[in-house]
């Protein structure tokens, strides 16, 4: 049966961004069963033994406690499981010298849902028919923002400026404050820090500038800290988590080993939290209480932060170093390739300037030599400018073994040489 769909139904039932690519990846792997593919497309973190053990231990403790029935056999409040909220309030107040109360925290089923609530609560059409925009201040950014609004025209992203270190084949994006507009027509601002896909970490000054611009109009700024400190601490450069009246500090347990349990956390002004909480009550009542109960234990014991700093961060930071050195060894020195500075997250972002084909075609060529990455053009949601850079980038996951990463970068370098040399030959 083909049910008739509403406009929203049609929009929400189509695959956006990277999810569409993932379908192709799965089909490629299925069709090439047995073929030796190196798959560096995953957004799924690896299972690190120490991290798995942490969640096993927390689960064992929960199973043995009297709390178990109360946790899994009963509904709870939409705001979240009280012991988890208390653990977060205590930890953040102590760690960052804040004065949070329980009313400043909301637990959601994964952080993706949080952006969905915010995008639709603050963005879209007002009662008087005015369009409130959801502003992404620096594009590229997380592909998942592409699907969060029920009003696609509300999403607007801004082109960055590029800091290029040509001799070292490195670059870094920066927000272009000469273009960025936040005004009475802005509903909310969202950005990831560290950024998926680029690994960029906006500086404290850049963040302050954005939140100040938004503060003038009482606009909430959601800082997507899915990779930030204190957990999973996937920042490889110094960064200070930011808090403030119009800032919603958004976290996720997914990169700290718990993606299956769907736990997201929002910390912000009581009034903003209340709006998001009501949205959640309507959408799904509350997040899984089992996941919340084990998270409460891991936070209050301090184990989650320790493992993040001692295991998760060094693991991915070292993968980035392996990838970076392999590219430096294998890539042709005379071609205009640029690796984004690896400041965090679990990805590397490669810009192939003047690429003689688009990123999708390059992705297909790379598949021919058994390497799978993600074409970069899926990471520019909301950016309507016709900018050639959008089709010149690739996201490479740091989720392979060291050997796989080295091998894959060798093959990638070979394909790069080939595709650029064909143009030279043709000239």
Ligand X SMILES: Cc1ncc(COP(=O)(O)O)c(C=O)c1O
- Which of 79, 120, 246, 252 touches ligand X (CB under 6 A)? 252
- Name the residue among 255, 202, 201, 249 with its Cα closest to residue 227: 255
What radius of gyration, in Å, describes the C-alpha atoms of the chain? 22
Write the CB contacts of 341 (distance below 8 Å, at least 6 apart in sequence).
170, 171, 172, 199, 200
- Which of 76, 83, 244, 259 touches ligand X (CB under 6 A)? 259
Output the smallest distance, CB 331 to ligand X, in A. Answer: 26
- Which of 80, 110, 140, 146 touches ligand X (CB under 6 A)? 110
Output the smallest distance, CB 87 to ligand X, in A. Answer: 18
x/- track of binding to ligand X for residues 48-87 (CB under 6 A): ----------------------------------------
Nearer to ligand X, 79 or 252 (CB): 252
Name beta bridge partners: 264.
108, 252
Nearer to ligand X, 43 or 342 (CB): 43
Output the smallest distance, CB 151 to ligand X, in A. Answer: 20
Instruction: Name the one range near ligand X by CB under 6 A: 46-54, 252-260, 363-371, 383-391.
Output: 252-260
Output the smallest distance, CB 260 to ligand X, in A. Answer: 9
* 88 phi and psi angles, rounded to 5 deg: -70, -45
Binding to ligand X in span 15-44, by CB under 6 A: 43
Instruction: Name the one range near ligand X by CB under 6 A: 17-25, 105-113, 295-303, 361-369.
Output: 105-113
Binding of ligand X by 112 (CB under 6 A): yes
183 three-state secondary structure = coil
Binding of ligand X by 111 (CB under 6 A): yes
Q: Which helix (H) or strand (E) holds 116?
A: helix 111-122
Nearer to ligand X, 79 or 254 (CB): 254
Instruction: Name the one range near ligand X by CB under 6 A: 107-115, 150-158, 233-241, 402-410.
Output: 107-115
- Name the residue among 148, 174, 146, 144 with its Cα closest to residue 159: 174
Q: How far apart are the first and last CA of the chain?
A: 54
Write the CB contacts of 380 (distance below 8 Å, at least 6 apart in sequence).
139, 140, 157, 390
Binding to ligand X in span 225-244, by CB under 6 A: 226
Binding of ligand X by 254 (CB under 6 A): yes
Output the smallest distance, CB 212 to ligand X, in A. Answer: 23
Instruction: Name the one range near ligand X by CB under 6 A: 56-64, 109-117, 296-304, 377-385.
Output: 109-117
- Name the residue among 195, 198, 199, 265 with its Cα closest to residue 230: 265
Binding of ligand X by 261 (CB under 6 A): no
CB environment 377-411: b (16+ within 10 A), e (fewer)? bbbbbbbeeeeebbbbbbbbbbbbeeebbbbbbbb
Output the smallest distance, CB 199 to ligand X, in A. Answer: 11
Output the smallest distance, CB 379 to ligand X, in A. Answer: 10
Binding to ligand X in span 332-361, by CB under 6 A: none
Binding to ligand X in span 375-414, by CB under 6 A: none
Instruction: Name the one range near ligand X by CB under 6 A: 4-12, 30-38, 108-116, 410-418.
Output: 108-116
Name beta bridge partners: 162.
173
Instruction: Please say whether the beta carbons of 264 and 288 come within 8 A.
Output: no
Binding of ligand X by 264 (CB under 6 A): yes
Binding of ligand X by 142 (CB under 6 A): yes
Binding of ligand X by 224 (CB under 6 A): yes
- Name the residue among 52, 140, 108 with its Cα closest to residue 281: 108
Q: What SS3 string covers 368-389?
A: HCCEECEEHHHHCCCCCCCCHH
Distance CA 189, CA 133 (A): 8
Nearer to ligand X, 246 or 252 (CB): 252
Distance CA 3, CA 323 (A): 47
Nearer to ligand X, 226 or 322 (CB): 226
Distance CA 305, CA 297 (A): 12
- Which of 41, 104, 192, 308 touches ligand X (CB under 6 A)? 192
The angle that helices 313-330 and 402-426 make with each other, rounded to 10 degrees, is 30
Residues lying near ligand X in the complex (CB under 6 A) are found at 43, 110-112, 142, 144, 192, 196, 224, 226, 252, 254, 259, 264
């Amino acid at each position: 049966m083909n049910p008739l769909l509403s406009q929203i139904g049609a929009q929400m039932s189509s695959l956006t961004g990277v999810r569409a690519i993932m379908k192709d990846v799965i089909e490629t792997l299925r069709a090439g069963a047995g073929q030796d593919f190196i798959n560096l497309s995953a957004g799924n973190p690896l299972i690190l033994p120490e991290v798995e053990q942490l969640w096993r231990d927390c689960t064992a403790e929960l199973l043995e406690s009297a709390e178990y029935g109360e946790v899994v056999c009963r509904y709870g409040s939409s705001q979240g499981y009280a012991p988890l909220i208390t653990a977060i309030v205590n930890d953040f107040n102590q760690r960052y010298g804040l004065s949070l109360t329980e009313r400043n925290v909301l637990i959601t089923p994964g952080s993706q849902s949080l952006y969905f609530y915010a995008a639709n609560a603050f963005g879209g059409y007002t009662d008087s028919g005015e369009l409130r925009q959801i502003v992404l201040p620096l594009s590229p950014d997380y592909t998942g923002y592409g699907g969060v609004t029920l009003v696609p025209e509300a999403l607007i992203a801004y082109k960055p400026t590029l800091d290029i270190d040509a001799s070292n084949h490195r670059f870094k994006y920066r927000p272009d404050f000469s273009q960025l507009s936040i005004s009475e027509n802005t509903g909310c601002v969202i950005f990831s820090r560290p950024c998926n896909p680029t690994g960029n970490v906006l500086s404290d000054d850049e963040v302050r500038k954005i939140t100040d611009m938004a503060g003038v109009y009482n606009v909430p700024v959601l800082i997507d800290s899915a990779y930030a400190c204190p957990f999973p601490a996937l920042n490889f450069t110094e960064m200070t988590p930011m808090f403030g009246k119009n800032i919603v500090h958004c976290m996720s347990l997914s990169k700290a080993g718990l993606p299956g349990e769907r736990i997201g956390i929002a910390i912000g002004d009581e009034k903003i939290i209340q709006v998001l909480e009501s949205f959640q009550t309507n959408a799904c009542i509350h997040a899984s209480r089992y996941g919340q109960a084990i998270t409460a234990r891991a936070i209050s014991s301090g184990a989650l932060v320790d493992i993040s700093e001692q295991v998760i961060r060094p693991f991915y930071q070292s993968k980035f170093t392996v990838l970076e050195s392999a590219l430096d060894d294998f890539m042709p020195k005379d071609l205009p390739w640029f690796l984004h500075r690896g400041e965090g997250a679990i990805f590397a972002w490669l810009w192939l300037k003047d690429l003689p084909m688009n990123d999708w075609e390059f992705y297909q060529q790379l598949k021919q030599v058994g390497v799978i990455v993600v074409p970069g053009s899926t990471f520019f949601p909301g950016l309507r400018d016709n900018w050639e850079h959008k089709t010149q980038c690739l996201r490479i996951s740091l989720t392979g073994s060291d050997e796989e990463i080295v091998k894959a970068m060798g093959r990638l370098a070979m394909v790069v040489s080939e595709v650029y040399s064909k143009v030279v030959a043709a000239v």
